[in-house]
Amino acid sequence: MSSSLATRHKVFLSYYHKDDERYRDKFEELFGHLFTNKSVREGDIRIDNSADYIRRLIRDDYITDISVIVVLVGRNTHCRKHVDWEISAAIGGWAGGHSGLLGILLPTYPGYSENEYDSRTIPQRLLDNMNSGYAKLIIWPKLEAARSKNETYIQRNIEDAFKAREDRTEKIRNSRDSLKINLCS
């Protein structure tokens, strides 16, 4: 394996906790040794705090020094305000640089088995950056495939997202207004 693929990037996993936490856990179990995890864990942030405080805390304590944000896209991920905020903070250059952006379509997403998506049900800030060429959306690896093949697949895509920080920065799209409320439950 080339040395460029051996780099352990600081990765933040963004997902809808209620629906897709098991995929976050599985992702960490299978691929956590490939990156340094900077994600928020259940119970790290009290949900009774104000939305502005939570947003600031996520940005300043979790996202500031990441190199790539990976968005786990399930059925309802597109309508979650925290996912939108996390993407915005990550690509917005809060620490003087921008993070790479990678979406992973989960088996909970309608259309997963056909490897298709509906642009209305992808987080819109992720979609903006897919359309511009800054980010990619890949499919959750088939777990029956060889472990080393899946590791290479994930590692290669994280590395590509990392390289976009330098190679495709002009393609970052982060101008839409942040979600103020969750659009679904």
State the pLDDT at residue 41.
66
Q: How confident is the model at residue 74 (pLDDT cuts 50, 70, 90)?
A: very high
Percent of the chain with pLDDT over 90: 57
Pick the CATH number of 7-171 from 3.40.1360.10, 3.40.50.450, 3.40.50.10190, 3.40.50.300: 3.40.50.450
* CA 19/CA 167 separation, integer angstroms: 34
Tens-place pLDDT, residues 78-137: 999 989 999 999 998 665 568 999 999 999 999 888 888 999 999 999 999 999 999 999
CA-to-CA separations, 79 to 10, 101, 105, 179, in angstroms, rounded: 25, 18, 15, 8
State the pLDDT at residue 4.
45
For the chain, state the CA radius of gyration. Answer: 15
pTM to 2 decimal places: 0.88
Domain ranges of the chain: 7-171
Mean pLDDT of all residues in 145-169: 90
State the pLDDT at residue 52.
76
Structure tokens at 17: 């906790």
